[in-house]
Structure formats: structure tokens, C-alpha cells
Structure 1
Amino acid sequence: MKIHEWEAFLRTWSAERDAARRAEDPALPPLGWLGFAPAPPERIAALEARLGAALPPSYRSFLEVTDGWRWAGEFVELLAPAAGVGPLRELTAHAHEELTFWEREDLDAELDAELDEDLDAELDEEEDGDEEERYESARWNRAIQISLTGDGTWLLLDPGDIGEDGEWAAYRYSSWSGHGPVRHASFADLMRAEYEGFRALRHRPAGTAGS
């Protein structure tokens, strides 16, 4: 999604959230624009310097329109401004631990499907004790957290999973969902999914934002 596309998409989202909110309580004041002022080039450059990598195109162009965002879907109250973005393992240690656990569970399930009973029993003996604590996930150790406030929900980018278009894989993880993180090919795809989730829960009619 390019910078001019973000503008139209986000203004539609703002208007629809405002309409949905005021339909429930007409006395509420208008929300207006859910975003903020654009991130200046030096702030984006500072974030790239901290991360040691150029930002993916759709996320960079988003920040060039708004430095953060309120109500990304129904369960993320605030997307971080550029200055608030950082490693998941540092910003939210318990979410990092939960995601590492989910990854380890998936790997164990795959391994169980491949091993015979004798080898599986041998593996169980080797993993007895604190093996769970020793497991390290390359993906979640490098994951970048881009949301600040939410209902047990985090939005993340993976700078180690890059598509041919330069986009980083993006994830939504809700600790209460009963399943692991949901992967999207880009930040733009993640935001489209959050928008559609908002519409589904708010029962809004179909529209054209984000096409």
C-alpha cells in the first residue's frame, strides 16, 4: 500500500469507527481522525537505525501518513509511534515467552509425527527438566512490536522473514484466542485484516476501503 492509498483507507476507517460508535450512543462526541501527525523523516531514520534495517515499504509509507494509530481493529487500542517501536522480547517479555511456547509446541507436534515410539520415549527423557526454558526462538527473539495497548493482543513485524517485494511478515497474536499467532505477508495485509475484523464485529456493510 502506497502513501496515497493509506490516506484514503485510514480516513474511511476513521469515519466508519466513528459512525459505529455514535450509532450505539448518539450523544458521544465525534472521534475524527484516528491517526496522528506524520512521522518526520528523521524519526523514521532513527527507528531504522535502532532496528539496523530499512523499514518494509507498507509500514514506512504508513508512518509517513500517521505516526501511530488508535483502534487498529477491536482489540488493539494503540499502534506505537516510531519512537515507541522496539523488540518484543524487551517491550513485552510475557508475550515473547508465550509465542516461544507456541512455536515449541508446534515443533514438538511435528517431531512426534515423525518419530517412532522408542525414539520418542528417548527424546522425552532428554527433554526432562528445564528444556522448555532453554528453547530459543530465532523468529520471536528478533520480532518487532508495533502495538502498545490492546486487549491481550499484539501486532508484530518479523525483519527476518522478507518477501521479494521487501515486505516483512506481520503477525497478530491474542493470548486469549486459544491458538498461536496469525501470519500475514505484510503490514498492509495485517491492517486490512484488522479493518475487516472491526467491520465484522461492528456489523458494518461492505465497502471499498483498502482495495
Structure 2
Amino acid sequence: MGCGTIGYMKIHEWEPFLRTWSAERDAARRAEEPAQPTLGWLGFDPAPQERIAALETRLGAVLPPSYRAFLEVTDGWRWAGEFVELLSPADRVGPVRELTAFLHEDLTMWEREDLDADLDEEDEDEEEEEGEEQAEYQSARWNRAVQISLTGDQTWLLLDPGDVDGDGEWAAYRYSAWSGYGPQRYDSFAALMRAEYQSFRDLRTPRAS
């Protein structure tokens, strides 16, 4: 399967996409370090339906189609892109405010700063009250956001159950604390994973001369 086909992956095509990714990552590692052992399949066993149902109960929402279909193929994933070492199994997915408090604070800060910038553009003469008001700022988006990655290079992947499109897909985000940029939004989990795959190819796959 070529990269072009993967770019138009439908949610029922997770397994061929992920097997292609696994094979390409192994090839890239062997090209750099031939003595490295083969990784093989980067995924795990499929998540049982009762585990997926338990996650939906905890979140109080039906999972987006592309993420549910992913879990039905593999309950987690190793090396999503170059900076996320492990996507969470279903039983370790949960609200970011509960799982990683400092990440929740960082994301809230980014949103507050964006809001301040918008207010400054609307009325440069308006003085903003800081201090207590800023400390009490709450973000509806990040209070409800779901963290779906466990370990990485100060990089996390998240889903927003409050930002849903007509197909039931939730907006997805990638945030790297070292990037100097705020969280990057994608239309769905599938779109996020395609972007992570492409980042892997850009960094690891040798370009033809």
C-alpha cells in the first residue's frame, strides 16, 4: 500500500495502514542500525468490546468512529510519529485534567493567551484585569479533553468530545511542550494519525535522490 492510498484511508482500513507503518518503521531502523532487532507489529491485541464500552461509560460519550475502529484493531500503539512512544490502551484513557495536571494547566494557559490576544485586537484601549481573574480562568475545551497517549518526548495526543462533526468524529490535538507553539488541531483521530505517520516518513524515510 502506497502513501497516497494511506492518505485517503477510511476507518475500516486501519489494519493495512498500521501494518504498512510497522513495516516501514522496521525498515527505517534497520537502515540506520542493522543490528537492531525487528520490532514487527507496533500494535497490540484488539481491545475487547467490554473494555471499549467501559471507556465510553467513563467518558459519558460514544467514541468517535475512527478511534473506536482503531481500538478494535489494536488496544494502543507504539511509536505514533517520532515523539509519541505509546498510545494508551482503552483502560488508561481519561480526562487530561485527571491524568496529567501540568499538561492541563499548560493547555489552559495557551488558550488564555490566545483569548487575551483576541481581546487586544478588538479593543487595544481596554485594560484587562489580571491576577485573580486570570488564575480563575477555566477552559471548557481542556476541562473535557481526553488524553489518549501515555509516554513521549514532552508530546501528547488528545481528543475533544465537545467538538464533534457530522460524522461523529471528535477534534484531535497534538501538543509538544518544546515546540514553542500551542496545540495543533485535526478534524479527527484518523487525520491526526495520518499526520503522525507522515511526520515519521519525513524524518525517517530516506528521500530518493
Q: TM-score category by the smaller chain? A: over 0.9
RCO (CA 8 Å, sep 6+): is it higher in 1 or 2?
1
| Code of the aligned partner of 1:18 | D
SS at match of 1:42: helix
Where 2:74 maps in the other structure, the secondary structure is coil
Matched, 1:14 2:12: no
Contact 2:11 2:190 in 1 (8 A): no
Runs of 4+ in structure 1 over 2 Å off: 129-132, 203-206
Equivalent pairs counted in the alignment come to 199
Q: How far 1:2 moved relative to its partner?
A: 2.3
Q: Which residue of 1 aligns with 2:5?
A: none
- SS of residue matched to 1:164: coil
Structure 2 match to 1:151: 153
SS at structure 2 position matched to 1:71: strand
Aligned residue number for residue 134 of structure 1: 136
Secondary structure of the residue that 1:46 maps to in structure 2? helix
| Displacement of 1:116 | 3.9
Separation (CA, whole Å) in 2 of partners of 1:134 and 1:204: 49
Equivalent of 1:115 in 102, 109, 123: 123
Partners of 2:86 and 2:190 in 1: how far apart?
Answer: 16
Secondary structure in 1 matching 2:40: coil
Structure 2 residue 62 is the aligned partner of structure 1 residue 38: no
Whole-angstrom distance in 1 between the partners of 2:77 and 2:167: 24
CA distance in 1 between counterparts of 2:139 and 2:55 reads: 23
Determine the structure 1 residue equivalent to 2:6: none
Determine the C-alpha separation between the residues in 2 that align with 1:176 and 1:183. 17
Q: How does 1:58-207 map to 2 (within 5 A)?
A: 58-117=66-125, 120-121=126-127, 123=128, 126-127=129-130, 129-204=131-206
- Distance, in Å, in 2 between the alignment partners of 1:167 and 1:114 is 32
Give secondary structure in 2 for the equivalent of 1:7.
Answer: helix
Q: Partner amino acid for 2:174? A: R
Alpha-carbon distance in 2 for matches of 1:22, 1:70: 17
TM-score norm. by structure 1 comes to: 0.92
The CA RMSD over aligned residues, in Å, is: 1.1
The one-character-per-residue Cα deviations of 1:71-95 (angstroms, maximum 9, x if unpaired) are 0000000000000000000111111
Partner SS for 2:80: coil
| Structure 1, unpaired ranges of 5+ | 207-211
Task: Work out whether 1:51 is the aligned partner of 2:59.
Answer: yes
- Pairing 1:2–2:4 present: no
Instruction: Determine the C-alpha separation between the residues in 2 that align with 1:57 and 1:33.
Output: 23
Q: Do 2:158 and 2:174's aligned partners in 1 also have CA atoms closer than 8 Å?
A: yes
Percent of counterpart pairs with the same letter?
75
Cα distance in 2 for partners of 1:205, 1:40 equals 39
Deviation at 1:133, TM superposition (A): 1.7
User: In the aligned structure 2, how far is the partner of 1:29 from the partner of 1:115?
Assistant: 60
